[in-house]
Amino acid sequence: MKDFDYIIVGAGSAGCVLADRLSASGQYTVLLIEAGPDDRSPLIRMPKGFGKLLGDPRHAWHLPVTVDPASGRTQEIWARGKMLGGSSAINGMVYMRGHPADYDEWEANGASGWGWPTMARAFRSIENHALGESELRGGQGPLKVAPYAQRSAFGEAVIRGCESLGLQRKEDINELDHEGVAYLTYTISGGVRQSAAQAFLKPARKRRNLQVVTETQVQRVLFDGQRATGVSACRGAGEQVTYRARREVILSAGALESPRLLQLSGVGDRDLLAQHGVALVAHSPNVGQNMREHLLCFLQVRLRHWRDSQNREFSGPRLVKNALQYMLAKGGVMALGSYPVGGFFRTRPDVDRPDAQLLVAPFSMDFSSPTYRFESFPGMQLFSYPLRPRSQGSVTIESADPAQPARIVTNYLADEYDRQVSVGAFRFMRKLIHSAPLSDLVLEETHPGTRAWTDDEIVDEFCRYGQSGYHACGTCAMGSHDESVLDPRLRVRGVQGLRVMDLSVIPTMVSGNTNGPMMAMAWRAAELILEDAR
């Protein structure tokens, strides 16, 4: 079958939810197209398996990023999931909701229907929370989430150190007042990753009205005049195929790919499209603009005792033992998320809510190694970043050839606000490692060590050695203004029959990790799509 009511491009966090919800009634035929393979690799199920998957070109896109020469960097590559489940199948699995004010601010600025009361309902609808159902949490949804499964002296020392700096200990990191520290919540259940494909798509694939095709890369949206009628795609080794949509095409390819597809299809800035010989369908100058990204910076320390560090658990005989423990019982370190503890804090007392995020892990990386390697002594890693960066990057095509990657410009720390919060976040980490009782575990700071003491040096540390949080968003932002790429119902302005639902649609960054908000937003998006269909 080549004709469907709805075509969804991209089987990631949003696409899997949409495929489930749009096919649930049996009333509509749905096609879900994924460029990568099925999610059969056992490394996907294993929570610690993503370390290998991130470097595997069969399961991850490796996208070159334009480097600012002034940053001191030589290259930067962003990884994104390339399989059923998308990035939810290779991410760090941290489950956060964002701050209620994030959503209320969207609504106040024109994204009507996306305020916190609506989104709180969507979160409760998707959640099956190990802490149980409550006014805050959902207990009957398809997505199983749970706090970090193992308590330890290390985790307790980190939490008590944060308490000494004024943070409140929480049972659930997603409690509404937000500021505080907790064992993090993960999309892990019984030692198994709960990707969007596992939670939403796997049950839905039993329906006859849902078809899923893999290893098929969409190259363009097809139009009849200004109405989207389907997509042109390349299957396998080069077979060209066309799929037709009777109702709508929905782009859920991610904040880097969806704007690229729009531009390749003729929706974007007219001058950019003319430069590359793409016929204009609709002038929309903000396609690919407004990109926000978390830029994190690491701090690492040498610990006094091996009992507090996992550094030697991932090589040699210990790795074999841990892999066997996972295969036999879904237990041990391979069944856990990477960062036991995290939280939200204010870098200045005069801000109205937390403006920075912290994550802490009982391991440390050898940054001098060209490969992914842990340090040879007991170590600990911390990282932090500004929650709601204001600096804006972009994603733009450099050719009409679908095989050519887009130009991704990060523009990290261009805004003074981001620089100030980054400095405050880094100084908080330094205070934490010297705060009792965590300080009793610490021998010395090893990274950046003697570097990065003045404000300018800390900013330089972020610029040279910081890392993307893999949370890029905002490149097809919704809003009520004519210059917004999407209206609040996620319809692409200037055309008919075309929507976008992925991280590109959010006007500003959510406060925290983005996978949870994406799945909840896709749940809400499906409601809007079905309302419009009726």
Q: SS3 letters for 109-171?
A: CCCCCCCHHHHHHHHHHHEEECCCCCCCCCCCCCEEEEECCCCCHHHHHHHHHHHHCCCCECC
Residues in the chain: 534
**What is the C-alpha to C-alpha distance for residues 236 and 412, in angstroms, rounded to an integer?**
36
Helix (H) or strand (E) holding 188: strand 188-189
Taking alpha carbons only, the member of 78, 82, 83, 46 closest to residue 62 is 78
Choosing from 283, 305, 471, 481, the catalytic residue is 471
> Could you give the count of Cα atoms lying within 13 Å of 512 in the half-sphere of its Cβ?
29
Q: Closest Cα to residue 12, out of 63, 87, 62, 79? A: 87
- Helix, strand, or coil (residue 257): helix
Question: CA 459 → CA 295, 384, 390, 423, 426, distances in Å?
Answer: 11, 13, 15, 7, 9
Q: Find out whether 378 and 304 touch, Cβ atoms under 8 Å.
A: yes
**All residues at 6 or more sequence positions from 370 whose CB lies less than 8 Å from its CB, including other chains:** none
Enter the tokens of residue 284.
Answer: 């929309």
Kindly state the tokens that stand for 61: 């896109």
Sheet holding 127-129, edge to edge: 127-129, 143-147, 185-186
Active site (annotated) includes residue 59: no
- According to DSSP, the residues that pair with 381 across neighbouring strands are 300, 361
Q: For residues 410 and 277, is the Cβ–Cβ distance under 8 A?
A: no
Extended strands (E) in 373-418: 379-386, 394-396, 407-409
Helices 100-108 and 116-126 meet at what angle, rounded to 10? 130
Residues labelled as active-site residues: 471
